[in-house]
Amino acid sequence: MEELFAQRLSELIKNSNYILADMEEAVGKKGATISRYASGEIRGVKRETIVKLANFFGVSPAWLAGLSNEKYELKTDKLGNPVVSIPILRYC
């Protein structure tokens, strides 16, 4: 499970346009610490940190932790209907 967390975090970092400073601010951890999470050097990452990282990257915390194969959480409205988020691009 911890190995899968490191692999998935590493994948998210590599495939993003974020720099470690962006993640530092959002997660409240130093960039070096986040790099050590991604390399698997640090084990036993706190649930709170996994949730913050998952929220930062917009993925399911369970997927990031290696507990699920569903990368994105299914969101529903008040009636239980599935909701899909569509990004809105703004042209200036």
User: Please, are residues 67 and 57 in contact by the beta-carbon 8 Å criterion?
Assistant: no
Q: Where are the domains of the chain?
A: 2-76
Summarize pLDDT for 10-52 with one digit per residue, the tens: 999 999 988 888 889 888 999 899 999 999 999 899 999 999 9
For 45-73, the pLDDT digits (tens) are: 999 999 999 999 989 999 999 998 888 87
Higher model confidence: residue 86 or residue 51? Answer: 51
* pTM, rounded to two decimals: 0.75
Residue 57's pLDDT is what?
A: 92
CATH class of the domain whose range is 2-76: mainly alpha
The pLDDT assigned to 26 comes to 86
The Cα–Cα gap between 51 and 37 comes to 14
**What one-letter code names the amino acid at 8?**
R
